[in-house]
């Protein structure tokens, strides 16, 4: 039986308008699922919508609809979005479906029968926006932070809250909370604190990335409280009724988290036995505690194994601010697709930032990535030999040195791609694959099929075209999980029905020809594209020109930023190859590199590039180094040179040579 793999997204709140954050998680999950299918694994990919709760009920009332009518309409926004983004899910679960409600009620009855649930009177601060209770300390801190000039220290906030002098605020939304006293059912979550800690210790990969796992462990340093898992129907009627007390409905998080199991059917069903536990739940970092502390405890109590991993990614921000409908900075994926196309949007979101970190979106960055990676590199590799598509391929034979070198690059690039994508490091995977894209373009430049054709050297032309078409096949077969439409097109041009992941130059049949086609991506101009994405930034005001001063003819006039050749000649630039890279012990934004610059010993260079590059991605990269800069200590570590990079203080990319020149080569 094939190895199986089960990946999920969170179920998205049905009242939300789909935005770039929803798209990011779902594209990542879709890419993972497609990759595992390509590898022959029995793969299941689940997504869906969360449709119960007070906010849904109130929204429906305002519109004169029943809650069910309301969710039946709003769920279509997500269905349409996933179609637009070419999301190939296996199941779409809705929490209003009978199959889900049946499993949830079964779980509740099981926990009730085991004594895991109990009723008690409870008073607390309730947030309708977050649909949860908060402690005095939490709502007081949020209220205090909301004040511009509070006039009293933060430690007094709780007292002033209790005296009614301070309006409590929800820590999530900032909206006012209300004090509620009512009887509810509670889950004995506190009993599972030690088991949670033991599980995380015994399964160190169960929460990733490492920084998120540390957040959960920090949360568990405080005593764990029991979890309120019900709401009175008198206050909230829109939910799944408790099977043992119809006067209450299920708390939305208990309801929502159960979807990962309910979508497989009842416990013990064929699908459940086949796919549970899930291999990975992809979630945003803001719902990590629910998916680890709450969910793992629930599963322990139900006698079920937790998922093998919960991976919490970061947020897309706009000018370093979280996207919010109230702020008005939400990015519509439909707009991006209308400008760039679906494959380019999928590529940009996965390539731009390391998965797990926050990333700042800008239309300029999206346009730069499109024109650079997809037009200049990828589309160029695919299209530039279209003129010779009708040339029949040579029979496979022993590889000459240039082809053997290209195949070696292909093996290294695809091995890196596989290793990185199976750790959900999409950026690293694509960077690794792009070394083959670059090598393929270099091979075209070096072996010039146009010159071979002009000279009538058809034998060598057929050999070169085999290496190039096989390189194209290898690239698009691996890239197909990220850019499925473009890669399907290229594979069809090569006469293939689907991806073939073999890294060899003898896969395409002898005598086969390619089908010509249009370029996959066409360059977009800056100004109209930026306007289409929301408006190009206005040009900064310019100061009126100052009166020109006459300069003696014997002295050439130099602008303030102009230097002479002698000035430039003082800077010694060399090509360096990164031998190792690691995080700086005392600074999060710095990396410490060992770089071969053609000297007897490698240089140690400290660079502020940690927010852009993972250390392991840099090993083997060729970079440009200033080698005659005086050594300096950066946060206690000596740096013996400086790297050249684009982007100013916010590094966008290291400068690298187009070709694989030797370490120590002079740059001028």
Domains annotated for the chain, with CATH where assigned, are: 4-106+236-313 (3.40.50.620), 107-232 (2.170.220.10), 361-493 (1.10.730.10), 565-667 (2.40.50.140)
Q: What is the per-residue pLDDT across 402-439, written as a single tens digit (0 to 9) for each?
A: 999 999 999 999 999 999 999 999 999 999 999 999 99
The CA distance from 327 to 19, in Å, is: 14
Pairing of strands 310-313, 280-284: parallel
Residue 249 to residues 52, 107, 188: CA-CA distances in angstroms? 10, 14, 18
Contacts with 226 (C-beta within 8 Å, 6 or more apart), sequence order: 186, 187, 188, 189, 190
* Cα–Cα nearest to 94, from 51, 125, 146: 51
Mean pLDDT of 32-52: 97
Task: Report residue 75 as tokens.
Answer: 């769920």
Q: What angle do CA 259, 284, 431 make, to 5 degrees?
A: 120
pLDDT at 565 over 80: no
pLDDT-based confidence at 595, cuts 50/70/90? confident
Read off the tokens for 186: 């509670």
> Buried b vs exposed e over 331-358: b needs ≥16 C-beta within 10 Å?
bebbebbebbbbbbbbbbbbbbbbbbbe
d(CA 408, CA 405): 5
- Whether the CB-CB separation of 117 and 43 falls below 8 Å is answered with no
Q: What is the pLDDT of residue 564?
A: 55
- Per-residue pLDDT band for 34 (boundaries 50, 70, 90) equals very high
Neighbour count for residue 377 (Cβ, 10 Å): 17
State the angle between helix axes of 193-202 and 295-302 in degrees (0 to 180), rounded to the nearest 10. Answer: 100
Across 67-86, average pLDDT: 96
Phi, psi for 533 (deg, rounded to 5): -90, 5
Q: What's the average model confidence in pLDDT over 289-312?
A: 98
Burial of 149 (0-12, 13-18, 19+ CB in 10 A): exposed
Hey, what are 623's tokens?
Answer: 């970079």
Convert the pLDDT of each residue in 87-125 to its tens digit.
Answer: 999 999 999 999 999 999 999 999 999 999 999 998 888
Greater model confidence, 209 or 574? 209
Among residues 617, 590, 586, the alpha carbon closest in space to that of 605 is found at: 590
Per-residue pLDDT tens over the stretch 224-262? 999 999 999 998 999 999 999 999 999 999 999 999 999
> Distance (Å, rounded) from C-alpha 117 to C-alpha 111?
6
Q: For residue range 166-210, list pLDDT tens digits in order.
A: 788 888 778 888 888 889 999 999 999 999 999 999 999 999 999
| Mean pLDDT rounded to a whole number for the chain | 87
Q: What is the pLDDT of residue 626?
A: 81
Report DSSP state, residue 554. Answer: T
Lowest-confidence range among 324-333, 405-414, 439-448?
A: 324-333
- pTM for the complete prediction? 0.78
Q: 486-520, pLDDT tens digit by residue?
A: 999 999 999 999 999 999 999 999 999 999 999 99
Least confident among 56-60, 142-146, 387-391: 142-146
Statement: residue 532 has pLDDT above 70: yes
For the chain, give the percent of residues with pLDDT over 90: 62
| Distance (Å, whole) CA 656 – CA 386 | 28
3-state secondary structure labels for all residues of 425-451: CHHHHHHHHHHHHHHHHHHHHHHCHHH
Rounded distance, CA 126 to CA 180, Å? 6
Q: What is the pLDDT of residues 376-392, one digit of tens each?
A: 999 999 998 777 888 89
- HEC string for 319-386: CCEECCCCCCCCCCHHHHHHHHCHHHHHHHHHHHCCCCCCEEECHHHHHHHHHHHHHHHHHHHHHCCH
User: Among candidates 466, 470, 471, which has minimal Cα distance to 452?
Assistant: 466
313 close to 356: Cβ distance less than 8 angstroms: yes
Coil, strand or helix: which one is 281? strand
CA 402-406-412 angle, 5° bins: 145
Residue 658: the pLDDT is 57
| CA distances, 511 to each of 151, 454, 601 (Å) | 83, 21, 50
3-state secondary structure 113-173: HCCCEEEEEEEEEEECCCCEEECHHHHHHHHHHHCCCCCCCHHHHHHHHHCCCCCCECCCC
Residue 17 has pLDDT above 90, yes or no: no
Two structure tokens written together for 452: 């071979």
Are the beta carbons of 391 and 315 closer than 8 angstroms?
no
């Amino acid at each position: 039986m094939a190895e199986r793999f089960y990946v999920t997204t969170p179920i998205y709140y049905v009242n939300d308008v789909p935005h770039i954050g929803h798209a990011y998680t779902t594209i990542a999950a879709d890419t993972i699922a497609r990759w595992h299918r390509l590898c022959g694994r029995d793969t299941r990919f689940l997504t869906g919508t969360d449709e119960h709760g007070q906010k849904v009920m109130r929204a429906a009332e305002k519109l004169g609809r029943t809650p069910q009518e309301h969710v039946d309409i709003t769920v279509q926004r997500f269905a349409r979005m996933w179609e637009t983004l070419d999301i190939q899910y296996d199941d779409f679960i809705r929490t209003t479906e009978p199959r889900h409600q049946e499993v949830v009620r079964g779980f509740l009855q099981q926990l009730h029968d085991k004594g895991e649930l109990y009723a008690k009177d409870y008073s607390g601060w309730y947030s309708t926006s977050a649909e949860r209770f908060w402690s005095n300390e939490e709502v007081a801190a949020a209220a205090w932070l909301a004040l511009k000039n509070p006039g009293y220290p933060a430690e007094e906030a709780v007292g002033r809250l209790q005296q009614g002098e301070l309006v409590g605020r929800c820590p999530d939304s900032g909206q006012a909370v209300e004090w509620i006293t009512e009887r509810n059912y509670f889950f004995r979550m506190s009993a599972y604190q030690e088991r949670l800690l033991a599980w995380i210790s015994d399964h160190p990969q169960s929460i990733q990335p490492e920084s998120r796992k540390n957040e959960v462990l920090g949360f568990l340093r405080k005593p764990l409280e029991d979890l309120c898992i019900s709401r009175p129907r008198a206050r909230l009627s829109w939910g799944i009724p408790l099977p043992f007390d119809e006067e209450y409905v299920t708390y939305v998080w208990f309801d929502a988290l159960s979807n990962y199991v309910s979508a497989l059917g009842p416990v013990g069903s064929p699908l459940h036995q086949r796919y549970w536990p899930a291999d990975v739940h992809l979630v945003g970092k803001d719902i990590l505690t629910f998916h680890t502390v709450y969910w793992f405890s629930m599963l322990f109590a139900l006698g079920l194994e937790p998922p093998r991993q919960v991976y919490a990614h970061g947020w897309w921000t706009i000018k370093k601010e979280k996207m919010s409908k109230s702020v008005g900075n939400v990015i519509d994926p439909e707009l991006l697709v209308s400008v760039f196309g679906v494959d380019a949007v999928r590529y940009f979101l996965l390539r731009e930032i390391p998965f797990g970190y926050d990333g700042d979106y800008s239309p300029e960055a999206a346009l730069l990535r499109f024109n650079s990676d997809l037009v200049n590199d990828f589309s160029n590799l695919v299209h530039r030999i279209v003129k010779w598509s009708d040339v029949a391929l040579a029979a496979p034979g022993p590889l000459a040195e240039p082809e053997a070198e290209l195949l070696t690059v292909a093996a290294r690039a695809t091995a890196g791609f596989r290793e990185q994508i199976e750790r959900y490091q999409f950026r690293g995977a694509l960077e690794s694959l792009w070394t083959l894209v670059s090598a393929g373009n270099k091979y075209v430049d070096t072996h010039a099929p146009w010159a071979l054709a002009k000279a009538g050297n058809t034998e060598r032309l057929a050999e070169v075209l085999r290496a190039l078409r096989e390189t194209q096949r290898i690239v698009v077969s691996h890239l197909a999980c990220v850019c499925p439409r473009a890669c399907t097109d290229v594979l069809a041009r090569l006469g293939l029905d689907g991806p073939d992941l073999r890294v060899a130059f003898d896969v395409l049949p002898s005598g086969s020809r390619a089908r010509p086609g249009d370029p996959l991506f066409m360059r977009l101009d800056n100004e109209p594209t930026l306007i289409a994405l929301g408006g190009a930034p206005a040009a900064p005001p310019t100061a009126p020109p100052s009166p020109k001063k006459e300069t003696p003819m014997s002295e050439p006039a130099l602008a303030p930023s102009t230097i002479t050749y002698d000035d430039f000649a003082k800077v010694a630039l060399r090509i360096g190859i990164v031998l190792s890279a690691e995080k700086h012990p005392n600074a999060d934004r710095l990396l410490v590199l060992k770089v071969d610059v053609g000297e007897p010993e490698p240089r140690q260079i400290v660079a502020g590039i940690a927010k852009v590059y993972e250390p392991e991605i840099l090993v083997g990269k060729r970079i440009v180094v200033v080698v005659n800069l005086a050594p300096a200590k950066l946060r206690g570590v000596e740096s013996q040179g400086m790297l050249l990079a684009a982007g100013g203080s916010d590094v966008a990319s290291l400068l690298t040579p187009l070709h694989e020149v030797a370490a120590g080569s002079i740059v001028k």
